[in-house]
A and B are shown apart, each in its own frame.
Chain A
Amino acid sequence: MDKTQLMICSPLEAELVEKIRSVDRQRLEVFYDPDLYPPLRYACDHKGVQTFKRSGTQTARWRAGLEKAEIFLDCPIPKELPGDLAYMKRAKWVQFTSSGIGEFVKRAGLDKSDLILTTARGVHSGPLAEWSFMALLMYFKKFRFLEAEQKAHRWERYCDEEVAGRTLLTIGAGDLARGVAVVARALGMRVIAVTRSPDKPRAHADVFDEIHGVPDLHRLLPQADAIVCTVPHTDETENMLDRTAISLMRPDVAFINTGRGSTIDEVAMIEALRNGKMGFAAIDVAQIEPLPTSSPLWDMPNVMINPHSASTVTTENAKITDIFCKNIELYLRGDAARMTNIFDKQLLY
């Protein structure tokens, strides 16, 4: 019997490659040639060092792998199309290691193909919810005030604040928003979600106290003590939080961005933070990444910056591999329609 060929296109720990092999040693043949992958910049890095180049023979081996494979864990994302995609002649299914693949899928025309695409949705919501709440707790419980008092060796009892009872607005009602909402609820917050599809059936809808459509955004902004922005970059989300939207926010609002920098007018955000029209911002994403060293955001005391690493935890690859292995089993059984995280080529997420 011909084995089903599977190629791993991004660096992966040896024990996880083994785990994938062990899903079905009879039917599955896994291609993972360790010296074909770029050195890592950090653990669970999928892209690797930018200057990496394969030699002639390495490239030949790489392309031979691409040509044979039916199943892919990640696929090469070329700067110029079609790049290595042209070699993926037998490709039927690609499991990505991230969730924000909409831009690439559109650019590469994969939304018009028959390729099954699955994402790593779910893997990042936990770490992002953690980081979002780290930032929210720091702000509402006056961490910087405590820090300053400590620096001055001053012991003076005071009345603190709490997160309980406050209103959290999520931009988005998908998995990232769900992750944040679940924590917010447990901490006694009221959670409102704004999404482009408020009526879409969602298994996790109960996690929000209210779900509204984008037309309600401006009406809802003044109610928010905290806003967590979780949406991917699409035509509709670009600049959704423009100058007007920002002006409707509470002047002491805590703004957290774990989606994409393009959703908010960064210049207007900076102004608002400076002029007491926005209390605090914690950003994992920015308009330009890496954030240019000249950006005013670096020196603002009411800003927290994470270099787009808030979702990157050491267990990430293990979690992705888990999803992938379960999906492989379904795929091999002819049950691909029931795989987890199938990417919707119409909605582009």
Chain B
Amino acid sequence: MTAPSPGEKLTILIASPLEDEFVERIRAFDPARFDVVHDPDLLAKPRYVADHNGAPRTLTADQNARWSDHLKHADILFDFDRLDPINMPTNAPRLRWVQATSSGIGEYLKKTGLENSRIAFTTASGVHARPLAEFSMLGLLHFFRDVQYLDEMKRAHHWERYTTPGLDGARVLLVGLGSLGREVAKDCARFGVEVWGARRTTGGELPEGVTRLVNQRDLLDVLPQVDALILACPLTDETRLLIDRPQVEALKPGAVIVNISRGGVINEAAMVEGLKSGRIKGAALDVFEVEPLPKESPMWDLPNVLISPHSASTVGAENGRIVDIFLDNLGRFTRGEPLRNLFDKTRGY
């Protein structure tokens, strides 16, 4: 993507709910070069802090006209136009680049056909890493430190000393060593967990906390040797059903699963069977094959499943962090440098 020519003024359009203080930060970044259009009346209303989808909305004819006009003049978008993403290339003919507010946009770009456009997309990868790593540790500790057992003892008013294996010394297979996986690896290592990592590319340095790199093709051999499986990879053609039935069944009895990637990476039905039988000790899941999780899913009532409604990544500090990335990218864009978190169609993330 070419850098703006000197003196060229560009328009940034804010396309999803964003607090005024952050809009101001964007405005203040380089007012000589960037005009910022923020028309909150036309944007969705956030249902919770850092909600980028917002409540469903319909615009009046007038509002629609105003929005079309904004799109026509936009060179850069902060978030997708969720009203009509498929036609973004036509509706926003000057559009060069969209800064997304989520990390996993591969499926979305495919579905909307946007992956075939000439628009550059940058993700919010990294922003969700800390909160998701915290959720992963919560999940592991929940099962390795017997929360269910302690809850039962508490209900029974029963005090009896006991011994637990604890988390220290457990071995985990972490699939995905990007910004998310790297934070998870560091946290696990901090608790004395032995981390084996699997990622798309082999070779290269071991990320901090990872003691062994495993080839994605050797999963069936490795899975029986680990006490927990953490999925932290993007969903791509390569990772879809990476953990299929044979892989789920290869897990050591008593293993724990944490999924902070996408539901499509694992064979959910096989996982549910394992959880029901107790072969899989427990699972902490932030993502599912179908979201919202259908009411009839047996997972709601399984005592050894922790369900988070795809919210483990969303924390109050999120918008600030996304804007940090955006501002960094605005600088790079101006200087003709490679953008951070640039989506790569061939990689799928």
Contacts and interface: CB of A to CB of B under 8 A. Distances in A.
A293 B157 contact: yes
B163 A313 contact: yes
A156 interface: yes
Nearest to B139: A137
B36 interface: no
A42 B315 CA distance: 41
Given A155-B293, A157-B314, A304-B150, A312 B168 contact: no
Given A157-B51, A164-B134, A183-B191, A130 B147 contact: no
Given A130-B145, A130-B166, A306-B150, A158 B160 contact: no
B163 A309 contact: yes
A224 to B, nearest CB: 19
A60 to B, nearest CB: 31
Interface in A125-149: 126-127, 129-131, 133-134, 137-138, 141, 143, 146, 149
A188 B190 CA distance: 13
Q: Is the interface of B mostly helix, strand, loop or mixed?
A: loop
B162 A312 contact: yes
A41 interface: yes
Contacts of A43: 163
A153 interface: yes
A13 B293 CA distance: 48
Nearest to A131: B145
Contact of B309 (A41, A134, A156, A289): A156
A160 interface: yes
Contacts of B147: 134, 138
Contact of A307 (B135, B162, B186, B192): B162
A308 interface: yes
B349 to A, nearest CB: 22
Contact of B134 (A137, A149, A289, A305): A137
A162 B305 CA distance: 21
Contact of B190 (A149, A153, A186): A186
B263 to A, nearest CB: 13
Contacts of A162: 130-131, 134, 315, 317
A159 B315 contact: yes
B291 interface: yes
B138 A137 contact: yes
A182 B190 contact: yes
A163 interface: yes
A127 B192 CA distance: 10
A316 B166 CA distance: 10
Nearest to B309: A155
Nearest to A43: B163
Contacts of A131: 145
A312 B187 contact: no
A314 B165 CA distance: 5
A290 interface: yes
A272 interface: no
B304 to A, nearest CB: 12
B327 interface: no
Contacts, number: 156
A52 interface: no
Contacts of A308: 161
B108 interface: no
Given A141-B134, A158-B314, A159-B311, A312 B164 contact: yes
A9 interface: no
B310 interface: yes
A150 interface: yes
A104 interface: no
Contacts of B47: 157
A314 B316 contact: no
A131 B305 CA distance: 20
A164 B130 contact: yes
Contacts of B164: 127, 309, 312-314
B134 A130 contact: no
A141 B165 CA distance: 24
A142 B144 CA distance: 19
A161 B315 CA distance: 5
A329 B166 CA distance: 30
A127 B138 contact: no
Given A133-B137, A141-B134, A157-B310, A126 B192 contact: yes
B295 interface: yes
B130 A133 contact: no
Interface in B181-222: 186-187, 190-192
B307 A312 contact: no
B65 to A, nearest CB: 31
A160 B166 contact: no
B169 interface: yes
Contacts of A160: 131, 135, 308, 311-315
Interface string A289-318: 111010000100001111111001111100
A258 B51 CA distance: 38
A314 B163 CA distance: 6
Contacts of B44: none
Interface string A254-284: 0000000000000000000000000000000
A187 interface: yes
Interface in A146-189: 146, 149-150, 153, 155-165, 182-183, 186-188
B27 to A, nearest CB: 25
Interface in B285-330: 291-293, 295, 300, 305-318
A41 B142 contact: no
A44 interface: yes
Closest 3 CB pairs of A and B: A155-B292, A290-B159, A134-B141
Given A158-B314, A186-B187, A290-B159, 6 more contacts: A137-B141, A141-B312, A143-B142, A146-B308, A156-B309, A309-B164
Interface of B: 47-51, 130-131, 134-135, 137-138, 141-142, 144-145, 147, 150, 153-154, 157, 159-169, 186-187, 190-192, 291-293, 295, 300, 305-318
